[in-house]
Amino acid sequence: MVPTYLSPAPPGPVRHRIVRLADWHFLPRDLFAADIRDQADEPVPDAEIDRLYAAFLSEVEAIQVEQKGILRCLIEHHGLRNVFQEGLSRRDMPVYRAKLSVLRKLEADMAGLRDEHAEVARALSGMKAASQEGTADYRELAKVEREIEDVLQTLEIGVENGPASARPANCT
């Protein structure tokens, strides 16, 4: 979890409580790779970038799952009724609602992209079975597969990091 810092409550009855959940910033793979390579003393191969990026995405997801659990606990056991997003005001609500609409559409469109990814993966598997791994066509198709994976990962994290009500709450 992202480290948090707590301040003790002042003496007397508590009327309001502020809980701030910090989050990690999502980075698309290309920016993540650039950051890793900038910090490295030696060249970092794409396979290592892929491994590190997958670990990064897993950590981001784990933090988000933990934050959902914290919020559910606060709702169910401590009477949390309001959640505010830092920087969001009434004036920003039209933009917020527009983002919700876009995120909902992206989530629906991701199913088609997953189907395309599966089709490309099957084609690569067939080419591999036919010993065509060294061909330009195989390399190009592998590049397309990585690009689809990057887009899917970006969309999945974008949907997760979008406005809280973009996904229906499951408080069971």
pTM (2 d.p.): 0.50
Residue 90 is predicted with a pLDDT of 84
Residue 2 is predicted with a pLDDT of 53
pLDDT tens-digit series, residues 66-82: 888 888 898 898 888 88
Q: Confidence class of residue 170 from pLDDT cuts 50, 70 and 90?
A: very low
Cα–Cα distance for residue pair 131/28, rounded to 1 Å: 32
pLDDT, mean of residues 41-69: 91
- State which amino acid sits at residue 161: N
- Cα-based angle 46, 51, 56 (whole degrees, multiple of 5): 120
Kindly write down the DSSP assignment for every residue of 22-66, as one continuous string. Answer: --PPP--HHHHHHHHHHH-SS---HHHHHHHHHHHHHHHHHHHHH
